[in-house]
Amino acid sequence: MLSGKFRSALVIGGQGIRARKLRTFLSMVSLFLGVLAVVAVQAGSEIAERAMLTDVELQSGKDGTVRGYVPGEKGAPAIVESTLKGRSDAVAMISSNAIIGEPGVRPINEGGMPFEYAGQGRGYYGPNMICDSNGTCHEQKQPEKKPDGQAIEVNMVALTGDIRPFKPFRPVSGSWLEFASAPSLAPRIVLNEEAAKGLRQYRVPGEMTIEGATHHVTPQIIGVVQDGDMQPRVYMRLDELRTWMPSATETTNPNQFRGGGTSLELFLQPGTDDLQQLLKAKLVGAGVPQDQMQFQTVKSKERMESELRIMRLIFLGMAFLVLLIGVAGILNVGLATVGERVEEFALRRAVGMSRMLLAGIVLAETLLTGLLTAALAIGAGAAGLQVALMMFGSRFPSLVGTAFPWEAGVAGVIAGLVAGVLGGLIPAIRAAKIPIATVMRA
């Protein structure tokens, strides 16, 4: 019985919309901007959240990733390398410094500083300091100054496997490292944008000097990626580096504080507790202090949740103010329509139509109007996003491949339904209260 009344209300409401096309159009115009504002705010907040998370993931790793820090001493690099060999659920980054260009000269960006600070000495980092176990620090004596030459200093990162499942590096040009093939005698390297900028800006020989390597290396540059790092970095396979550098340089206090030596970062998938325990046991057995090993889960979204929530609530509040203007427009049109159809509604009451069904007809008209408006607003929002990405997507790499978020579509449908209910409730109540005697005036 209820389903029959509901169906009747929808059918008669649809007939009323067709019979009053101009008023329906005016109602939709007044409501369109309000629903579009809700859709735009919801879509914008979702896209902003994804863009922010993507930028953070370049630095810290994807949410849920277990990130570990291990000191590069007491044979730790070799232990980590052997333990992770052949595993796809964990990757180690073994970092040290390297110089690309003329050997035995002072790099243009000494210390691996960004190139915008090149030529400003060590002012970017401050003086080299050494601290002992008691916390007493003193400035390290500056080494003998080398002659200036055509060379740049980079942070060299050797990988045991593909890091992209943990850090979603964005390709800029060329290709990424291929770990399935046999190691190459001429190491293949991928530059980050800052390192590529240095090689474009300065003409340096294609020779790489690595601390601890047996010979100078002539690398093959195969690609450029965006990794979110301000310092120049190069990425290469660890097994290719081992051809030229059989063992990692130990991290001692002097080279640790000037950025030299070896540092280890591990990235593990969730649920690899057994692997973490195995690594810790091996490293402790080799003499690495347990308190110097840290493993923590990346929770970037949780840290940004409060900021994103506040931003979203502020803009949603503004969008609902615009939506209320549309609701007022529907309300005015609905009241005017009910006033014109008093005799029609009284006649329907006289032939036995219930007050509930009469109110349902009026409410169905506004609900259908709200849903039609929501569909148009969602379509306009999706089309606008695609146009914006086509025009400005190249300027914002984090937005590449962005799709219209389904959350915005749901928000638009809810906004249309809410506007239909709020705008049609009062006219529906007024129509239900029309007395049957009113038909005598017709």
What average pLDDT does the structure give for the chain? 78
pLDDT at 91: 92
Q: What's the Cα-to-Cα distance from 13 to each of 16, 78, 227, 374, rounded to whole Å?
A: 5, 75, 57, 18
Q: Which two tokens stand for residue 28?
A: 């939709």
Q: How many C-beta atoms lie closer than 10 Å to residue 392's C-beta?
A: 10
pLDDT at 125: 47
| Domain's final residue, options 263, 297, 331 | 297
14 with 118, same domain: the answer is no
260 with 384, same domain: the answer is no
Residue 340 CB partners (closer than 8 Å, separation 6+): none
Query: Considering only CA atoms, which of 374, 322, 381 is closest in space to residue 46?
Result: 381
Q: Which domain holds residue 437?
A: 2-58+302-441
140 with 114, same domain: the answer is yes
pLDDT at 5: 59
390 with 436, same domain: the answer is yes
pLDDT band at 123 (very low <50, low <70, confident <90, very high): very low
pLDDT at 19: 67
pLDDT at 218: 85
Query: Considering only CA atoms, which of 230, 231, 235, 232 is closest in space to residue 220?
Result: 235
pLDDT at 12: 65
From the number of C-beta atoms within 10 Å of its C-beta (0-12, 13-18, 19+), residue 317 rates as exposed
pLDDT band at 251 (very low <50, low <70, confident <90, very high): very low
288 with 158, same domain: the answer is yes
Q: How many C-beta atoms lie closer than 10 Å to residue 324's C-beta?
A: 14
103 with 82, same domain: the answer is yes
Res 186 pLDDT > 60: yes
87 with 179, same domain: the answer is yes
State the amino acid at position 212 in one-letter form: G
Q: What is the DSSP letter of 165?
A: T
Query: Considering only CA atoms, which of 74, 95, 133 is closest in space to residue 261?
Result: 95
**Of the ranges 247-261, 328-342, 405-419, which one carries the lowest mean pLDDT score?**
247-261
Res 71 pLDDT > 60: yes
Look at 137 and 155; give whichever has higher pLDDT: 155
pLDDT at 253: 42
Q: What's the Cα-to-Cα distance from 159 to each of 16, 90, 132, 386, 390, rounded to whole Å?
A: 68, 11, 31, 37, 35
Instruction: Give the Cα separation of 355 and 344 in Å (integer).
Output: 13
| Domain's final residue, options 262, 282, 297 | 297
Q: Is 161 helix (H, G, I), strand (E, B) or coil?
A: coil
Q: Which two tokens stand for residue 380?
A: 């306009």
Res 86 pLDDT > 50: yes
The domain total for the chain is: 2
250 with 125, same domain: the answer is yes
| Domain's final residue, options 297, 326, 351 | 297
Greatest Cα-to-Cα distance within the chain, rounded to the nearest angstrom:
110
pLDDT at 259: 38
The tens digit of pLDDT for each residue in 279-322 reads 889 888 888 888 888 888 888 777 777 777 787 788 778 777 77
Res 49 pLDDT > 80: no
pLDDT band at 7 (very low <50, low <70, confident <90, very high): low
Q: How many C-beta atoms lie closer than 10 Å to residue 275's C-beta?
A: 18
The tens digit of pLDDT for each residue in 363-403 reads 888 888 888 888 888 888 888 888 877 777 666 666 666 77
**Of the ranges 129-138, 210-219, 355-364, 423-432, which one carries the lowest mean pLDDT score?**
129-138
Q: Is 299 helix (H, G, I), strand (E, B) or coil?
A: coil
Q: Which two tokens stand for residue 169?
A: 């590096």
Q: How many C-beta atoms lie closer than 10 Å to residue 428's C-beta?
A: 24
The length of the chain is 442
pLDDT at 175: 92
The tens digit of pLDDT for each residue in 209-242 reads 887 677 778 889 999 998 888 899 999 998 888 8
pLDDT at 224: 94
The pLDDT of 81-104, averaged and rounded, is 87
Residue 8 CB partners (closer than 8 Å, separation 6+): 357, 361
Query: Considering only CA atoms, which of 250, 251, 263, 254 is closest in space to residue 130?
Result: 254
Residue 94 CB partners (closer than 8 Å, separation 6+): 72, 77, 80, 81, 157, 158, 159, 160, 238, 248, 262, 263, 264
By percentage, how much of the chain surpasses pLDDT 70? 81
413 with 283, same domain: the answer is no
Res 135 pLDDT > 60: no
Instruction: Give the Cα separation of 69 and 269 in Å (integer).
Output: 15
- Beta-bridge partner residues of 137: 131
- Beta-bridge partner residues of 297: 66
256 with 337, same domain: the answer is no
195 with 103, same domain: the answer is yes
261 with 219, same domain: the answer is yes
**Whether 234 contacts 190, CB under 8 Å:** yes
